[in-house]
Structure 1
Amino acid sequence: MTHVPSAAPFDPQTATIAIVTFNRSNLLTRLLTSIGEMDPKPGRIVIIDNASTDDTAEVVESFRDAVAPADIVYRRMETNTGGSGGFSEGMRVAYELGSEWIWLMDDDVEVLPDGLAKMGKWAPRFKSIQGRRYDYDGSAFYWQYRVAEPLGIPIPFAPAEFDASGYKAMNSGCFEGMFIHRDIVQQIGLPDPRFFIYWDDQMYGWLASRKTSSVIVDEFVLRRTREIKQWDMGIRHMNASSNAYRYYIMRNRAYIKKYYRELGVYRPVPFALGTTLTFGKELIRLVFVERTVRGTSNLFRGLRDGRKIARDASWQPMPPLEAATTTGR
């Protein structure tokens, strides 16, 4: 697929940073501090609070002047909708506010001072862009930017190096830094909140890549601020997980299957192999990262509940959006 240049040069004021946070006001403080030090700044910062019980609301209020001239739009959810629900709501708010570009991120990163300028450099050429991140220790974080479509899983050792072009084609996505144009959001709709956590960003990035040339660019724009237990495998790391993640990793395979069927790319045998490989990877994560064998019941429970989703004849994918009228800047 060839990329189509945007109609106009990038204007930072048309961009919105959409953040999802939950009970991590200390990490949110670091992120908002980094946004305050950015040059240029975005026009808006949308903060989706997944029903936090800490001082998140007070922290947000304390930063309104520090991030000026960017406007802060704060939304507190009534319940914790997971990362999937938070990013869906953040995308909805940013889109309805008329944002041309939406930059998604969790609360456990900070933005480099020239991060938006670096992303904006690519905005006239592409409409779905992923930048690079530094890990907690300052090393380059490797993200699996290619999906083996028939299997429905990431390719773990896709080449990490960039050539002189400075970008590589991707067919996936990561909500820790996805930079996407409103035209693509309108066509594919909002991120699917039904995932709750896991696979949601991969699916959304894959959907975007079917509408436009999606790329990862050789620009470091974010830094992770939370240390996670890892197994260093050389080219990449395998992070520690949790019982909740293990459950949703397996359950949400059913949602991927649903989207694949809807779009006519589902192939039963390769997809089943992808599910088996995912199950095996989670067992390896338990043994080599978390040094335990407890937690396997959550994998089986996820598979069981996924079968119920797969049989749901009423299921529909997220719909395209109506064009929203731009309000303000």
Structure 2
Amino acid sequence: MTLRVFALVLCHHGRELTLACLGSLCQQKYAPMEVLVIDNASQDGTPEAVRAAYPDLGLIRMGANLGYAGGNNVGLRVALQRGADAVFLVNNDTLLDPDCVARLVSALEAEPRIGVIGPMVYTWDAGQVISSAGGAIDWWHADAINVGMGEVDRGQYGARPVDFVNGCGLMITRQAIERVGLLDERYFMYWEEADWCVRVGRAGFGVYFEPGAQMRHKATIRSDQLGPRTLYYLTRNRLLFFATHTPLPLKPAALAHALHGALRGLGHERRAGRAEHARAIQLGIVHGLQRRWGRVDDLAWQGMRAGIVGGVT
């Protein structure tokens, strides 16, 4: 049976990147596939440009930025209602090789127990430099890494089970979604794909990496280029992820390592003179301990920028 695939392209600004991504999706050598764009309240003309360039593609315009989890969940519900057998979540700052979808589907058809599969992800403009060859979780040290990041691809990473795949390009089956549910919107953005993959794996499905399927991702692989909001969500959501999923015997050590890592990052940003970055990490720690999830509210963020974190200056 030929699997019916829905590709969801989530965007929040990035008009030209979005158009390029859609161009690569429209050149895929796989059918039947439907492409649906979910626009998270872009203010740079992205939805208008998408409608003009690709009038036949589905487009959902959100009235607010729902984040990675919330925005994709809107698209996932539509895809399931329309009979999708598999859904491919694609970031708008990616470019797919023409046979990317076909190779992922071929792997799904060859191994029906797979619930999630992801491609080889290369950096945007550095030849065959790897951004992610699947993901690995270190429960003891409360860490999750994109395997191979920064390495030149010499074929050292074959098709195999992994702990998670990068959310910039993640294909999930209908059966897996129906078993474990949608993305957890408490994360808003970052760590939610790892959460989803862990839930899928613990439900008895395989989570796989397929190097024959390839794409490029524009996101930075350098931690010193991350902005304050990114640092906030990475810090807070790391606490949420490991508090939720770490096996009980390892949980005290994992949470201690997560806090220690956050405090170390805070100190690094202070020493580098990046005060706002440091305060963002501090706010992420506070909100993680307070169990304040979802999108950070504007009042808390404005207070952080003014030097007030959790009511403390």
Is the deviation greater in 31-40 or in 264-273?
Answer: 264-273
The letter of the residue matching 2:233 is Y
Matches within 5 A, 1:1-329: 8=1, 10-11=2-3, 14-64=4-54, 72-124=57-109, 125=111, 126-137=114-125, 138-143=127-132, 145-155=135-145, 166-211=158-203, 212-224=205-217, 226=218, 228=220, 230-231=221-222, 238=223, 240-260=225-245, 267-280=251-264, 286=269, 292-294=273-275, 295-309=277-291
Q: Which protein has the bigger helix share?
A: 2
Shift of 1:119: 1.0
Contact 1:257/1:266 (CA < 8 Å) preserved in 2?
A: no
Moved more, 32-41 or 75-84: 32-41
Matched-pair contact (CA < 8 Å) for 1:15–1:103 = yes
Name the SS of the counterpart of 2:36 in structure 1: strand
Q: Deviations over 1:184-225 (max 9, x none)?
A: 11111110122112111111112112121211122242122x
Q: Percent identity?
A: 20
Q: TM-score, normalised by structure 1?
A: 0.76
Point out where structure 1 has 5 or more consecutive residues left out of the alignment. Answer: 1-7, 66-70, 232-237, 312-329
Q: In 2, Cα distance between the equivalents of 1:246 and 1:218? A: 29
> Which structure 2 residue ranges, 5 or more long, are not aligned?
294-313
How many residues were matched structurally?
284
Describe the shift of the 1:156–1:31 C-alpha distance in structure 2 as closer, same or farther (beyond 3 A).
Answer: closer
Give 1:279 deviation, angstroms: 4.5
- The CA deviation at 1:111 is 1.4
Runs of 4+, deviation exceeding 3 Å:
155-166, 263-266, 278-284
- TM-score, with length taken from structure 2: 0.79
> Would the aligned equivalents of 1:287 and 1:293 in 2 still touch at CA under 8 Å?
yes
CA deviation digits over 1:105-141, x for unaligned, max 9? 1100011111111112201212211110221122332
Letter paired with 2:28: M
**Structure 1 position 266, deviation (Å):** 6.3
Residue 12 of structure 2 contacts residue 42 of structure 2 at CA under 8 Å; is this kept in 1? yes
Structure with the larger RCO, 1 or 2 (CA within 8 Å, 6+ apart): 1
